Amino acid sequence: MINNFTRESISNQEPYSTALPTRADFKVALIAMPFVSYHRPSIQLGLLKAIADSYGFPVTTFHLNLDFAHQIGTELYELLCDFRGHLLGDWLFAKAAFGDAIPDDSGFLQLKGLYIDKTLAALVEDRQRLDKLRLEQIPAYIEKLMLDTDWSQFKVIGFTSTFQQNTASFALASAIKRRHPGVTMVFGGANFEGEMGQELTRTVDCIDYAVIGEGDKAFPEFLIALQEGRDPTQIRGVVARRNGRVTNLNSRPPLRTLDELPTPDYTEFFERAGNLGLLPTDPTERILLPFESSRGCWWGEKHQCTFCGLNGTGIVYRVKSPQKVLAELDELAKYYPKTVLEAVDNILDMSYITTVFQKLSETRPGYELFYEVKANLSKEHLKVLHNGGVIRIQPGIESLNSHVLKLMRKGISASQNVNAIRWSRYFNIGVGWNMLWGFPGETEQDYREQAALIPNLIHLFPPDGYGRIWMERFSPIYFEKENFPTRYIKPEASYGYIYPKEVNLEKIAYFFDYEFEEKLPDNTYKGLVQALEAWQEAWKQPEKPRLLYWAYSDFLKIEDLRHPSQPLSYYVEEPQASIYLAFSDRPHTALAVKTKLDLKIPVWEIEQYLQKLCDMGLMMRDGNYYLSLAIPSAKPRYEVRNGKISLSLSHEEDLEPLLANAGVC
């Protein structure tokens, strides 16, 4: 399947002895444990299986998170997956993982962050239910996994671990080790990046080896070394515990040629999900099918966002060819009819808009796709994405204030963020985003301005969540101590209730509690929070807020249904109509529009008119830039005015000629 990839990695390996087991006899298991969503397979398992298979190793994947979702109920399971403020999932499995070595956990349920979500708060307050989970259901789950599979048949068992998968993985690995001590256990994933993986290898008994960093080449080379009887720690990226110490890590550079990678194999996920009755039955439900078209972050290579630690040490940007991406999508789409092809990329390669998505918009294969993107997408970009099958994006909005965005190093303005959400709603592309605060250098005025702006944006998709930024390992606010001075940094409090005392929490923590030396009081954000809550509440109603316009040959009609109980309509004559339309595609300065429309009035007079529209909530101002907030109606309609019947123009086809022929004031 990937001959170039496999041969490159093993060309310099010594021949293995015929006395040793052949690769065909060297069985490997790859396991995904709770807590990751039951709605999607693990791309780590799917990809590593496909790679190891190509080397001749028989690999079986086990999406055992599905078994736990089935056991405790999918609603509760997903709630636990979605919560990352404190490591509740890891706490639940800690006793199964470490037994009596766990610290006193009596204070865990008093941690403030557990009560942010109302549904989760109800669970946390039900101590009896939590104790049943920890002391009865989880041990029963581990024991059932031991009985369901003969783990002794495998030479190697690998666990992938990201976010809250550590202790569940340690619990099963320890159970297998106790009964089958000869089986080799290897761990990898984001939780094993850098010194986190080295410290866990040093202190957690069930870990024989860890692959630190990308495993595309390290993992098959590790298997080859074991199968040939050589020391796997000589493989770059592999460490082990020897005499109480961890072997030296010889780091491996990130994989550059992603086209060498095979398509992930998700066969076992669908078989297991089907057997457990976890595949969608509701026509509106979808399985999320992960795929990868790039690694790293092209923006982060230039200016890493101050709070982002997602790329670990692999921020260098690498991308698959359009041909490879299209072929992989075609292969993955055959797995199951009700899927959203979910890119795990941190950011969309902008060249894909004119290659991958332009091709998909022409061939119309019927895919539904998700992508993380930078929010500087234009109307034209979003149109191509929509026509290419993108149904949801995550544009990394994070703030609606340009000063705060600059502090974040986002490389984008507030009006660009708003415009991305505007055109996403027009093209019916869902938007997932969060509002963040707590950045050194921000001002109270920054948040008063956002609180005042939000009521005018209520017709746009609200944020999924909001709050103070987390401090993540690998983020600039963590490692740039001189630029972000703190009063303290310490591992997030829940780690202390989960791991035995032998574990150095400073080395294994990904999330940290902290306090910047420069900090605004918490009540600074009260007005913003109230505005955000009202925004989210408005979108829970059956009738969603709207702010639409219809462009006619000589006037513009704006219909304001942001508050359905108080509908408003505005008629805008020429040339003011053309001015409003000129600020619709993207933010502009008043001078730029004066030049574009060849207006014969001074800039200050245009700005006076624009400010009036801002005061009415029909436009927003962002420094010297202005943006119209109304969204063009997707459907033309007739308007009777002064005894004359007019038909509105189709926005996509006729708006540009209207602007080109705008009258001169």
pLDDT digits (tens, 9 = 90+) for 228-263: 999 999 999 999 999 989 999 999 999 999 999 999
Do residues 378 and 398 touch, judged by C-beta distance below 8 A?
no
% of residues, the chain, pLDDT over 70: 94
Considering only 4-8, 95-99, 155-159, which range has the smallest mean pLDDT?
Answer: 4-8
Structure tokens given for 309: 């630690």
Three-state SS annotation for 224-286: HHHHCCCCHHHCCCEEEEECCEECCCCCCCCCCCHHHCCCCCCHHHHHHHHHCCCCCCCCCCC
Q: Is residue 601's pLDDT more than 80?
A: yes
Average pLDDT, integer, range 187-206: 97
Q: Is residue 117's pLDDT more than 70?
A: no
Please provide residue 311's backbone torsions phi and psi, each rounded to the nearest 5 degrees: -90, -5
pLDDT tens readout for residues 263-307: 999 999 999 999 999 999 888 889 999 999 999 999 999 999 999
Q: Is residue 656's pLDDT more than 50?
A: no
Considering only 123-137, 369-383, 468-482, which range has the smallest mean pLDDT?
Answer: 123-137
Structure tokens given for 205: 């008994």
Q: What angle do CA 623, 629, 632 make, to 5 degrees?
A: 145
Strand order of the sheet with strand 546-551? 568-573, 555-561, 546-551, 631-632
Q: Does domain 546-660 have CATH number 1.10.3720?
A: no
Do residues 310 and 346 touch, judged by C-beta distance below 8 A?
yes
Do residues 189 and 165 touch, judged by C-beta distance below 8 A?
yes
Q: Is residue 5's pLDDT more than 60?
A: no
Q: How many CB atoms lie within 10 A of CB 362?
A: 9
Considering only 75-79, 178-182, 352-356, 457-461, which range has the smallest mean pLDDT?
Answer: 75-79
The burial of 308, by beta-carbon neighbours within 10 Å (0-12 exposed, 13-18 middle, 19 or more buried), is given as buried
Q: What is the reported pLDDT for 17?
A: 42
Q: Is residue 373's pLDDT more than 70?
A: yes
Q: What is the reported pLDDT for 1?
A: 33
Structure tokens given for 652: 């996509």
The number of helix segments (H) and strand segments (E) in the chain equals 26, 28
Do residues 649 and 658 touch, judged by C-beta distance below 8 A?
yes
Do residues 389 and 365 touch, judged by C-beta distance below 8 A?
yes
pLDDT tens readout for residues 405-437: 999 999 999 999 999 999 999 999 999 999 999
CA distances from 544 to 536, 567, 630, 654 (A): 11, 13, 14, 27
Q: What is the reported pLDDT for 650?
A: 54
Do residues 349 and 294 touch, judged by C-beta distance below 8 A?
yes
Q: How many CB atoms lie within 10 A of CB 593?
A: 21
C-alpha span between 365 and 511 (Å, rounded): 41
Could you tell me which of 206, 191, 237 has the C-alpha nearest to residue 90? 191
**DSSP letter (8 states) at residue 99:** G
Higher pLDDT pick, 108 / 278? 278
Q: Is residue 640's pLDDT more than 80?
A: no
C-alpha span between 529 and 546 (Å, rounded): 22
Average pLDDT, integer, range 28-38: 97
pLDDT classification of 479: cutoffs 50, 70, 90: very high
Q: Is residue 200's pLDDT more than 50?
A: yes
Q: What angle do CA 466, 312, 484 make, to 5 degrees?
A: 60
Residues 6+ apart with CB under 8 A from 660: none
C-alpha span between 293 and 323 (Å, rounded): 11
DSSP per-residue letters across 53-80: HHTT--EEEEETHHHHHHHH-HHHHHHH
Q: What is the reported pLDDT for 115?
A: 60
DSSP per-residue letters across 120-153: HHHHHH-HHHHHHIIIIIHHHHHHHHHHHS-GGG
Looking at this protein, which amino acid is placed at residue 628?
S
Please provide residue 161's backbone torsions phi and psi, each rounded to the nearest 5 degrees: -140, 120
Average pLDDT, integer, range 186-202: 97
Q: Residue written as tokens 């998170």?
A: 65
Q: Are strands 184-188 and 156-160 parallel, antiparallel or unpaired?
A: parallel
What's the topology of domain 280-532?
pyruvate-formate lyase- activating enzyme (3.80.30)
Considering only 15-19, 379-383, 427-431, 646-650, which range has the smallest mean pLDDT?
Answer: 15-19
Looking at this protein, which amino acid is placed at residue 559?
E
Average pLDDT, integer, range 121-135: 86
Please provide residue 575's backbone torsions phi and psi, each rounded to the nearest 5 degrees: -90, -5
C-alpha span between 559 and 547 (Å, rounded): 6
Q: What angle do CA 254, 259, 262 make, to 5 degrees?
A: 100
Q: What is the reported pLDDT for 513?
A: 95
Higher pLDDT pick, 12 / 243? 243
Could you tell me which of 417, 344, 352, 418 has the C-alpha nearest to residue 389? 352
CA distances from 624 to 398, 602, 611 (A): 21, 15, 11
Q: Is residue 11's pLDDT more than 70?
A: no
Q: Is residue 473's pLDDT more than 70?
A: yes
Q: What is the reported pLDDT for 15?
A: 40
Could you tell me which of 153, 166, 122, 134 has the C-alpha nearest to residue 29? 153
Structure tokens given for 1: 């399947």
Q: What is the reported pLDDT for 651?
A: 54
Looking at this protein, which amino acid is placed at residue 62?
F
Long-range contacts from 651-657, C-beta under 8 angstroms, 24+ separation: 651/551, 652/383, 654/551, 655/551, 655/581
Q: How many CB atoms lie within 10 A of CB 419?
A: 28
Instruction: Name the average pLDDT for the chain.
Output: 92
Q: Is residue 363's pLDDT more than 80?
A: yes
Angle at which helix 356-363 crosses helix 322-332, to 10 degrees, equals 50
Q: Residue written as tokens 């993986």?
A: 197
CA distances from 161 to 53, 150, 481, 523, 578 (A): 21, 22, 28, 37, 55
Q: Is residue 63's pLDDT more than 70?
A: yes
Do residues 503 and 97 touch, judged by C-beta distance below 8 A?
no
Q: What is the reported pLDDT for 635?
A: 82
Q: What is the reported pLDDT for 645?
A: 76
How large is the greatest C-alpha to C-alpha distance in the chain, in angstroms?
A: 96
pLDDT classification of 348: cutoffs 50, 70, 90: very high
